[in-house]
Amino acid sequence: MITVVPDEGSELAETPVDFGAFVRKMGGAASGGLVVQPRMGISAPEEMRAGLMATKAANATTVGTITLDSYTRVGNLKAADTALREGIGLNGYPIVNHPRKVTRHVLAGTWGQDFPVQIRHGSATPRDIFSAMMALRLNATEGGPVSYCLPYGRTPLADSMRNWEECSDLFAQLREIGVEPHLESFGGCMMGQLCPPSQLIAMAVLEAMFFYQHGLRSISVSYAQQTNMVQDIEGVFALRRLCHELVPTENVHVVIYAYMGVYPTTEDGAYRLLGQAAELGVTCGAERIIVKTKAESKRIPVVAENVEALEYASGVAARTKSPAVGYYGEDTETYLEAKAIVDAVLNLDADVGHALLLAFKYGYMDIPYCVHPDNMGRTRSYIDERGWLRWSEIGSLPLGKLVSRRISKKATSTDLLRDLQYVRGEFDCASWAPGELWADRVGG
Protein backbone atom coordinates (compact mmCIF):
# COMPACT_ATOMS: atom_id res chain seq x y z
CA MET A 1 0.00 0.00 0.00
CA ILE A 2 1.38 3.43 -0.96
CA THR A 3 1.29 6.09 1.72
CA VAL A 4 -0.39 9.16 0.32
CA VAL A 5 0.24 11.64 3.12
CA PRO A 6 2.82 14.40 2.50
CA ASP A 7 6.30 14.18 3.97
CA GLU A 8 6.75 15.79 7.36
CA GLY A 9 7.94 19.36 6.97
CA SER A 10 6.80 19.54 3.36
CA GLU A 11 6.69 23.01 1.84
CA LEU A 12 3.73 21.80 -0.23
CA ALA A 13 1.11 21.67 2.50
CA GLU A 14 -1.63 23.22 0.36
CA THR A 15 -4.09 20.72 -1.13
CA PRO A 16 -3.22 20.37 -4.83
CA VAL A 17 -5.73 21.80 -7.28
CA ASP A 18 -7.82 19.41 -9.37
CA PHE A 19 -5.94 19.55 -12.68
CA GLY A 20 -9.03 18.67 -14.69
CA ALA A 21 -11.31 21.20 -13.01
CA PHE A 22 -8.67 23.92 -13.44
CA VAL A 23 -8.32 23.25 -17.17
CA ARG A 24 -12.08 23.08 -17.72
CA LYS A 25 -12.51 26.41 -15.94
CA MET A 26 -9.71 28.21 -17.76
CA GLY A 27 -10.03 26.70 -21.27
CA GLY A 28 -12.62 25.63 -23.80
CA ALA A 29 -16.17 26.92 -23.95
CA ALA A 30 -15.86 28.42 -20.46
CA SER A 31 -13.26 30.94 -21.58
CA GLY A 32 -13.21 30.76 -25.38
CA GLY A 33 -9.48 30.05 -25.22
CA LEU A 34 -6.98 27.30 -24.56
CA VAL A 35 -4.80 26.27 -21.66
CA VAL A 36 -1.34 25.82 -23.20
CA GLN A 37 1.28 23.33 -22.03
CA PRO A 38 4.85 22.50 -23.07
CA ARG A 39 6.68 19.21 -23.41
CA MET A 40 9.43 19.87 -20.88
CA GLY A 41 11.70 17.55 -18.94
CA ILE A 42 15.12 18.53 -17.61
CA SER A 43 17.27 16.29 -15.41
CA ALA A 44 19.01 19.05 -13.43
CA PRO A 45 16.68 20.21 -10.60
CA GLU A 46 17.53 23.92 -10.80
CA GLU A 47 17.02 23.94 -14.58
CA MET A 48 13.74 22.04 -14.22
CA ARG A 49 12.61 24.57 -11.64
CA ALA A 50 13.57 27.43 -13.98
CA GLY A 51 11.56 25.78 -16.75
CA LEU A 52 8.47 25.61 -14.56
CA MET A 53 8.89 29.21 -13.47
CA ALA A 54 9.25 30.38 -17.08
CA THR A 55 6.15 28.43 -18.10
CA LYS A 56 4.17 29.94 -15.24
CA ALA A 57 5.35 33.46 -16.14
CA ALA A 58 4.48 33.14 -19.84
CA ASN A 59 1.92 35.52 -21.31
CA ALA A 60 -0.71 32.76 -21.57
CA THR A 61 -2.87 30.52 -19.41
CA THR A 62 -0.46 27.69 -18.72
CA VAL A 63 0.01 24.45 -16.83
CA GLY A 64 3.40 22.96 -16.10
CA THR A 65 5.02 19.75 -17.28
CA ILE A 66 7.68 17.53 -15.79
CA THR A 67 8.56 14.92 -18.42
CA LEU A 68 10.54 11.96 -17.13
CA ASP A 69 13.72 10.50 -18.59
CA SER A 70 13.90 7.33 -20.67
CA TYR A 71 15.66 5.25 -17.99
CA THR A 72 12.84 5.95 -15.53
CA ARG A 73 10.23 5.15 -18.19
CA VAL A 74 11.59 1.62 -18.69
CA GLY A 75 12.31 1.02 -15.00
CA ASN A 76 16.11 1.10 -15.29
CA LEU A 77 16.53 3.04 -12.06
CA LYS A 78 20.11 1.83 -11.61
CA ALA A 79 21.15 3.50 -14.87
CA ALA A 80 19.37 6.70 -13.86
CA ASP A 81 21.17 6.67 -10.52
CA THR A 82 24.54 6.13 -12.23
CA ALA A 83 23.87 9.06 -14.56
CA LEU A 84 23.04 11.33 -11.62
CA ARG A 85 26.15 10.32 -9.67
CA GLU A 86 28.42 10.80 -12.69
CA GLY A 87 26.84 14.07 -13.80
CA ILE A 88 25.54 12.66 -17.09
CA GLY A 89 22.62 14.62 -18.48
CA LEU A 90 19.36 12.76 -19.03
CA ASN A 91 16.54 13.45 -21.48
CA GLY A 92 14.06 14.13 -18.69
CA TYR A 93 13.57 14.42 -14.95
CA PRO A 94 14.34 11.23 -12.92
CA ILE A 95 11.61 11.70 -10.31
CA VAL A 96 12.13 8.29 -8.70
CA ASN A 97 15.87 8.77 -8.15
CA HIS A 98 15.87 12.39 -7.03
CA PRO A 99 15.23 12.68 -3.26
CA ARG A 100 11.78 13.96 -2.40
CA LYS A 101 13.21 17.09 -0.82
CA VAL A 102 14.88 17.91 -4.15
CA THR A 103 11.61 17.59 -6.07
CA ARG A 104 9.80 19.60 -3.39
CA HIS A 105 12.32 22.37 -4.02
CA VAL A 106 11.71 22.14 -7.77
CA LEU A 107 7.97 22.56 -7.18
CA ALA A 108 7.97 25.12 -4.35
CA GLY A 109 6.83 28.53 -5.55
CA THR A 110 5.62 27.17 -8.88
CA TRP A 111 3.07 24.36 -8.40
CA GLY A 112 -0.07 25.68 -6.78
CA GLN A 113 -3.73 26.58 -7.13
CA ASP A 114 -3.01 28.83 -10.11
CA PHE A 115 -0.44 26.56 -11.77
CA PRO A 116 -1.04 22.79 -11.83
CA VAL A 117 1.82 20.52 -12.89
CA GLN A 118 1.47 17.27 -14.81
CA ILE A 119 3.95 14.38 -14.78
CA ARG A 120 4.46 12.87 -18.25
CA HIS A 121 6.41 9.67 -18.74
CA GLY A 122 5.63 6.91 -21.29
CA SER A 123 5.90 3.81 -19.13
CA ALA A 124 4.21 0.42 -19.37
CA THR A 125 5.70 -0.38 -15.94
CA PRO A 126 4.87 2.78 -13.98
CA ARG A 127 4.60 1.51 -10.36
CA ASP A 128 7.72 3.35 -9.12
CA ILE A 129 6.62 6.52 -10.93
CA PHE A 130 3.19 6.49 -9.30
CA SER A 131 4.79 5.79 -5.91
CA ALA A 132 7.06 8.83 -6.26
CA MET A 133 4.22 11.07 -7.46
CA MET A 134 1.82 10.05 -4.74
CA ALA A 135 4.38 10.52 -1.96
CA LEU A 136 4.65 14.13 -3.12
CA ARG A 137 0.87 14.44 -3.69
CA LEU A 138 1.49 15.17 -7.37
CA ASN A 139 -1.96 14.45 -8.72
CA ALA A 140 -1.84 14.76 -12.52
CA THR A 141 -0.27 12.40 -15.01
CA GLU A 142 -1.05 10.63 -18.29
CA GLY A 143 -0.67 7.42 -20.23
CA GLY A 144 -2.71 4.25 -20.43
CA PRO A 145 -2.41 0.47 -20.57
CA VAL A 146 -2.38 0.34 -24.38
CA SER A 147 -1.18 3.79 -25.41
CA TYR A 148 1.89 3.55 -23.17
CA CYS A 149 2.65 -0.01 -24.22
CA LEU A 150 2.31 -0.60 -27.95
CA PRO A 151 4.41 2.32 -29.28
CA TYR A 152 7.25 2.16 -26.77
CA GLY A 153 8.68 -1.33 -26.50
CA ARG A 154 7.89 -5.02 -26.23
CA THR A 155 6.29 -5.26 -22.78
CA PRO A 156 3.44 -7.78 -23.19
CA LEU A 157 0.10 -5.99 -23.37
CA ALA A 158 -1.31 -8.22 -20.61
CA ASP A 159 1.53 -7.15 -18.29
CA SER A 160 0.97 -3.48 -19.08
CA MET A 161 -2.76 -3.93 -18.41
CA ARG A 162 -2.09 -5.43 -14.97
CA ASN A 163 0.41 -2.68 -14.16
CA TRP A 164 -2.02 0.08 -15.14
CA GLU A 165 -4.91 -1.56 -13.31
CA GLU A 166 -2.85 -1.61 -10.12
CA CYS A 167 -1.53 1.94 -10.54
CA SER A 168 -4.93 3.40 -11.43
CA ASP A 169 -6.46 1.78 -8.35
CA LEU A 170 -3.66 3.19 -6.20
CA PHE A 171 -3.79 6.64 -7.78
CA ALA A 172 -7.54 6.81 -7.07
CA GLN A 173 -6.74 6.47 -3.35
CA LEU A 174 -5.62 10.10 -3.33
CA ARG A 175 -9.29 10.99 -3.24
CA GLU A 176 -9.44 9.51 0.28
CA ILE A 177 -7.28 12.38 1.58
CA GLY A 178 -9.08 15.09 -0.37
CA VAL A 179 -6.70 15.19 -3.36
CA GLU A 180 -8.34 14.73 -6.77
CA PRO A 181 -6.12 12.61 -9.07
CA HIS A 182 -6.19 13.30 -12.79
CA LEU A 183 -5.32 10.88 -15.61
CA GLU A 184 -5.04 11.75 -19.29
CA SER A 185 -5.32 9.02 -21.89
CA PHE A 186 -2.55 9.11 -24.47
CA GLY A 187 -4.74 6.95 -26.71
CA GLY A 188 -5.54 9.69 -29.20
CA CYS A 189 -1.83 10.10 -29.95
CA MET A 190 -0.73 6.49 -30.26
CA MET A 191 1.96 6.21 -32.94
CA GLY A 192 1.45 9.92 -33.61
CA GLN A 193 0.77 9.67 -37.34
CA LEU A 194 -0.73 7.65 -40.20
CA CYS A 195 -3.43 6.04 -38.05
CA PRO A 196 -6.91 7.10 -39.21
CA PRO A 197 -8.51 9.23 -36.48
CA SER A 198 -11.39 6.83 -35.76
CA GLN A 199 -9.13 4.26 -34.13
CA LEU A 200 -7.24 6.85 -32.10
CA ILE A 201 -10.55 8.28 -30.88
CA ALA A 202 -11.80 4.82 -29.96
CA MET A 203 -8.62 4.13 -28.00
CA ALA A 204 -8.85 7.41 -26.07
CA VAL A 205 -12.47 6.78 -25.13
CA LEU A 206 -11.82 3.19 -24.07
CA GLU A 207 -8.84 4.18 -21.92
CA ALA A 208 -10.94 6.92 -20.31
CA MET A 209 -13.57 4.27 -19.51
CA PHE A 210 -10.80 2.05 -18.12
CA PHE A 211 -9.66 4.87 -15.82
CA TYR A 212 -13.22 5.48 -14.65
CA GLN A 213 -13.69 1.78 -13.95
CA HIS A 214 -10.65 1.95 -11.69
CA GLY A 215 -11.88 4.87 -9.61
CA LEU A 216 -10.66 7.97 -11.45
CA ARG A 217 -13.15 10.82 -11.84
CA SER A 218 -10.96 13.60 -13.28
CA ILE A 219 -10.00 12.49 -16.78
CA SER A 220 -8.80 13.97 -20.06
CA VAL A 221 -8.66 12.50 -23.55
CA SER A 222 -6.16 13.36 -26.25
CA TYR A 223 -6.33 13.97 -29.98
CA ALA A 224 -3.19 14.34 -32.11
CA GLN A 225 -3.45 16.81 -34.99
CA GLN A 226 -3.38 14.82 -38.22
CA THR A 227 -3.18 15.63 -41.94
CA ASN A 228 -6.38 17.55 -42.75
CA MET A 229 -8.14 20.28 -40.76
CA VAL A 230 -11.68 19.25 -41.74
CA GLN A 231 -11.04 15.63 -40.79
CA ASP A 232 -9.51 16.80 -37.51
CA ILE A 233 -12.57 18.91 -36.73
CA GLU A 234 -14.75 15.84 -37.35
CA GLY A 235 -12.42 13.83 -35.15
CA VAL A 236 -12.44 16.13 -32.14
CA PHE A 237 -16.22 16.50 -32.23
CA ALA A 238 -16.56 12.70 -32.46
CA LEU A 239 -14.24 12.31 -29.48
CA ARG A 240 -16.21 14.79 -27.40
CA ARG A 241 -19.53 13.17 -28.33
CA LEU A 242 -18.38 9.63 -27.48
CA CYS A 243 -16.99 10.78 -24.14
CA HIS A 244 -20.33 12.44 -23.36
CA GLU A 245 -22.14 9.22 -24.25
CA LEU A 246 -19.84 6.71 -22.55
CA VAL A 247 -17.66 8.25 -19.80
CA PRO A 248 -19.93 8.83 -16.78
CA THR A 249 -18.20 11.85 -15.26
CA GLU A 250 -18.58 15.55 -16.05
CA ASN A 251 -14.94 16.23 -15.22
CA VAL A 252 -13.61 15.30 -18.67
CA HIS A 253 -11.74 17.56 -21.07
CA VAL A 254 -10.04 17.28 -24.46
CA VAL A 255 -6.38 18.04 -25.09
CA ILE A 256 -5.02 18.66 -28.59
CA TYR A 257 -1.45 17.64 -29.45
CA ALA A 258 0.35 19.65 -32.10
CA TYR A 259 1.35 17.31 -34.93
CA MET A 260 3.48 14.41 -33.70
CA GLY A 261 4.98 13.26 -37.00
CA VAL A 262 7.75 14.61 -39.22
CA TYR A 263 7.76 18.31 -38.41
CA PRO A 264 8.36 21.26 -40.77
CA THR A 265 11.99 22.35 -41.05
CA THR A 266 11.32 26.06 -41.54
CA GLU A 267 10.31 28.43 -38.76
CA ASP A 268 7.33 29.64 -40.79
CA GLY A 269 6.21 26.06 -41.44
CA ALA A 270 6.48 25.15 -37.77
CA TYR A 271 4.39 28.15 -36.73
CA ARG A 272 1.79 27.53 -39.44
CA LEU A 273 1.33 24.00 -38.13
CA LEU A 274 1.23 25.00 -34.45
CA GLY A 275 -1.19 27.84 -35.21
CA GLN A 276 -3.55 25.45 -36.99
CA ALA A 277 -3.45 23.10 -34.00
CA ALA A 278 -4.42 25.97 -31.70
CA GLU A 279 -7.22 26.99 -34.05
CA LEU A 280 -8.44 23.40 -34.15
CA GLY A 281 -8.63 23.35 -30.37
CA VAL A 282 -10.76 26.47 -30.07
CA THR A 283 -12.95 25.60 -33.06
CA CYS A 284 -13.86 22.27 -31.45
CA GLY A 285 -14.19 23.51 -27.87
CA ALA A 286 -11.11 21.64 -26.62
CA GLU A 287 -9.67 22.95 -23.38
CA ARG A 288 -5.92 22.34 -23.60
CA ILE A 289 -3.11 22.05 -26.14
CA ILE A 290 0.36 20.48 -25.96
CA VAL A 291 2.57 22.68 -28.12
CA LYS A 292 5.58 22.04 -30.32
CA THR A 293 8.29 24.55 -31.16
CA LYS A 294 10.21 25.86 -34.15
CA ALA A 295 13.12 23.62 -33.11
CA GLU A 296 11.24 20.28 -33.29
CA SER A 297 12.79 19.05 -36.56
CA LYS A 298 16.32 19.70 -35.31
CA ARG A 299 16.70 19.11 -31.57
CA ILE A 300 15.11 19.23 -28.12
CA PRO A 301 13.87 22.80 -27.63
CA VAL A 302 15.25 25.05 -24.92
CA VAL A 303 12.99 26.69 -22.33
CA ALA A 304 12.81 30.02 -24.17
CA GLU A 305 11.60 28.28 -27.34
CA ASN A 306 8.92 26.49 -25.37
CA VAL A 307 7.71 29.77 -23.89
CA GLU A 308 7.65 31.36 -27.35
CA ALA A 309 5.51 28.47 -28.63
CA LEU A 310 3.16 28.74 -25.64
CA GLU A 311 2.60 32.43 -26.23
CA TYR A 312 2.19 31.99 -29.98
CA ALA A 313 -0.44 29.24 -29.59
CA SER A 314 -2.27 31.29 -26.97
CA GLY A 315 -2.30 34.30 -29.29
CA VAL A 316 -3.76 32.32 -32.19
CA ALA A 317 -6.37 30.83 -29.86
CA ALA A 318 -7.40 34.30 -28.70
CA ARG A 319 -8.03 35.38 -32.32
CA THR A 320 -10.01 32.27 -33.25
CA LYS A 321 -13.77 32.53 -33.48
CA SER A 322 -16.06 30.84 -30.98
CA PRO A 323 -16.38 27.04 -31.11
CA ALA A 324 -18.25 25.65 -34.10
CA VAL A 325 -21.38 23.61 -33.46
CA GLY A 326 -22.11 22.05 -36.84
CA TYR A 327 -20.41 18.68 -36.32
CA TYR A 328 -21.44 18.02 -32.73
CA GLY A 329 -24.24 15.46 -32.71
CA GLU A 330 -23.83 14.61 -36.37
CA ASP A 331 -23.20 11.03 -37.46
CA THR A 332 -20.04 11.89 -39.36
CA GLU A 333 -17.88 9.27 -41.02
CA THR A 334 -15.30 9.60 -38.24
CA TYR A 335 -17.87 9.28 -35.47
CA LEU A 336 -19.50 6.20 -37.01
CA GLU A 337 -16.16 4.43 -37.46
CA ALA A 338 -15.01 5.23 -33.93
CA LYS A 339 -18.33 4.17 -32.43
CA ALA A 340 -18.26 0.89 -34.35
CA ILE A 341 -14.83 0.08 -32.90
CA VAL A 342 -15.81 1.09 -29.35
CA ASP A 343 -19.05 -0.89 -29.47
CA ALA A 344 -17.30 -4.00 -30.78
CA VAL A 345 -14.69 -3.85 -28.01
CA LEU A 346 -17.21 -3.24 -25.23
CA ASN A 347 -19.26 -6.21 -26.41
CA LEU A 348 -16.31 -8.50 -25.69
CA ASP A 349 -16.33 -8.13 -21.90
CA ALA A 350 -17.80 -5.94 -19.16
CA ASP A 351 -14.28 -5.30 -17.83
CA VAL A 352 -12.76 -2.69 -20.15
CA GLY A 353 -9.21 -3.87 -19.60
CA HIS A 354 -10.02 -7.47 -20.47
CA ALA A 355 -12.09 -6.29 -23.44
CA LEU A 356 -9.08 -4.39 -24.77
CA LEU A 357 -6.87 -7.47 -24.49
CA LEU A 358 -9.42 -9.51 -26.42
CA ALA A 359 -9.80 -6.74 -29.00
CA PHE A 360 -6.13 -6.92 -29.92
CA LYS A 361 -6.19 -10.71 -29.86
CA TYR A 362 -9.07 -10.77 -32.36
CA GLY A 363 -7.88 -7.78 -34.40
CA TYR A 364 -10.85 -5.55 -33.52
CA MET A 365 -8.13 -3.03 -32.70
CA ASP A 366 -5.07 -3.08 -34.92
CA ILE A 367 -2.69 -0.13 -35.24
CA PRO A 368 -1.15 0.48 -38.70
CA TYR A 369 2.64 0.15 -38.89
CA CYS A 370 2.93 -0.79 -35.19
CA VAL A 371 5.40 -3.67 -34.72
CA HIS A 372 4.52 -4.63 -31.13
CA PRO A 373 4.08 -8.44 -30.85
CA ASP A 374 0.53 -8.06 -29.48
CA ASN A 375 -0.60 -5.93 -32.43
CA MET A 376 -1.95 -8.06 -35.30
CA GLY A 377 -0.44 -5.72 -37.90
CA ARG A 378 -2.92 -6.35 -40.70
CA THR A 379 -4.20 -2.79 -41.15
CA ARG A 380 -2.74 -0.12 -43.41
CA SER A 381 -3.57 3.48 -44.20
CA TYR A 382 -2.82 6.17 -46.76
CA ILE A 383 -3.37 9.89 -47.36
CA ASP A 384 -5.89 10.56 -50.11
CA GLU A 385 -5.95 13.39 -52.66
CA ARG A 386 -7.70 15.71 -50.16
CA GLY A 387 -5.18 15.05 -47.42
CA TRP A 388 -7.49 12.79 -45.41
CA LEU A 389 -6.12 9.71 -43.64
CA ARG A 390 -7.93 6.65 -45.00
CA TRP A 391 -7.91 2.91 -44.43
CA SER A 392 -6.37 0.92 -47.27
CA GLU A 393 -6.56 -2.39 -45.39
CA ILE A 394 -8.88 -2.91 -42.41
CA GLY A 395 -7.82 -6.42 -41.38
CA SER A 396 -10.35 -7.61 -38.78
CA LEU A 397 -11.46 -4.14 -37.69
CA PRO A 398 -15.27 -4.04 -37.23
CA LEU A 399 -15.62 -1.55 -40.07
CA GLY A 400 -16.76 -3.79 -42.93
CA LYS A 401 -20.07 -1.95 -43.28
CA LEU A 402 -18.38 1.46 -43.24
CA VAL A 403 -15.10 1.00 -45.14
CA SER A 404 -14.77 -0.83 -48.42
CA ARG A 405 -12.60 -3.94 -48.19
CA ARG A 406 -11.68 -3.52 -51.84
CA ILE A 407 -8.17 -2.12 -52.07
CA SER A 408 -7.37 -0.33 -55.30
CA LYS A 409 -3.65 -0.11 -54.68
CA LYS A 410 -1.17 -1.76 -52.36
CA ALA A 411 1.00 0.82 -50.64
CA THR A 412 4.72 0.64 -51.38
CA SER A 413 7.62 1.80 -49.23
CA THR A 414 7.82 4.87 -51.48
CA ASP A 415 4.17 5.63 -50.76
CA LEU A 416 4.77 5.30 -47.03
CA LEU A 417 7.78 7.61 -47.07
CA ARG A 418 5.81 10.16 -49.10
CA ASP A 419 2.93 10.06 -46.61
CA LEU A 420 5.28 10.43 -43.67
CA GLN A 421 6.65 13.64 -45.23
CA TYR A 422 3.24 14.99 -46.31
CA VAL A 423 2.62 17.45 -43.47
CA ARG A 424 6.17 18.79 -43.53
CA GLY A 425 5.87 19.57 -47.24
CA GLU A 426 2.40 21.11 -46.97
CA PHE A 427 3.39 23.53 -44.20
CA ASP A 428 6.95 24.34 -45.26
CA CYS A 429 5.82 25.20 -48.80
CA ALA A 430 2.53 26.96 -47.98
CA SER A 431 2.10 30.51 -49.25
CA TRP A 432 -0.02 31.81 -46.38
CA ALA A 433 1.56 33.69 -43.50
CA PRO A 434 2.07 32.14 -40.07
CA GLY A 435 -0.78 33.22 -37.81
CA GLU A 436 -3.28 33.54 -40.66
CA LEU A 437 -6.36 31.62 -39.57
CA TRP A 438 -7.56 28.58 -41.49
CA ALA A 439 -11.20 29.68 -41.15
CA ASP A 440 -10.41 32.98 -42.86
CA ARG A 441 -8.56 31.26 -45.72
CA VAL A 442 -11.44 28.88 -46.45
CA GLY A 443 -14.15 31.47 -45.83
CA GLY A 444 -15.42 29.83 -42.61
**Mean pLDDT (10-residue bins), the chain, 444 residues:** 43 78 88 90 95 97 97 94 93 96 95 96 94 96 95 91 98 95 94 87 98 98 96 95 94 96 92 96 94 89 95 95 69 95 98 98 95 94 92 93 67 84 90 89 76
Distance CA 295, CA 386 (A): 28
- Cβ(261)–Cβ(5) below 8 Å: no
Dihedral pair phi/psi, residue 225, rounded to 5°: -50, 135
Please give the Cα distance from 159 to 298 (Å, whole number).
Answer: 35
The angle subtended at Cα 258 by Cα 192 and Cα 163, nearest 5°, is 50
Q: Which fold has domain 1-435?
A: TIM Barrel (3.20.20)
Q: Are 275 and 308 in contact (CB under 8 A)?
A: no
User: What is the structure's pLDDT at 9?
Assistant: 43
> Hey, where are the domains in the chain?
1-435
Q: Say what the pLDDT of residue 408 is.
A: 52
Fill in the amino acid letter for 259. Y
Q: By three-state DSSP, how is residue 253 classified? A: strand
pTM check: above 0.85:
yes
Q: What is the pLDDT of residue 2?
A: 40
CA-based nearest residue to 191, from 41, 379, 410, 396: 379
The pLDDT value given to residue 444: 59
pLDDT at site 192: 67
**What pLDDT does residue 326 have?**
60
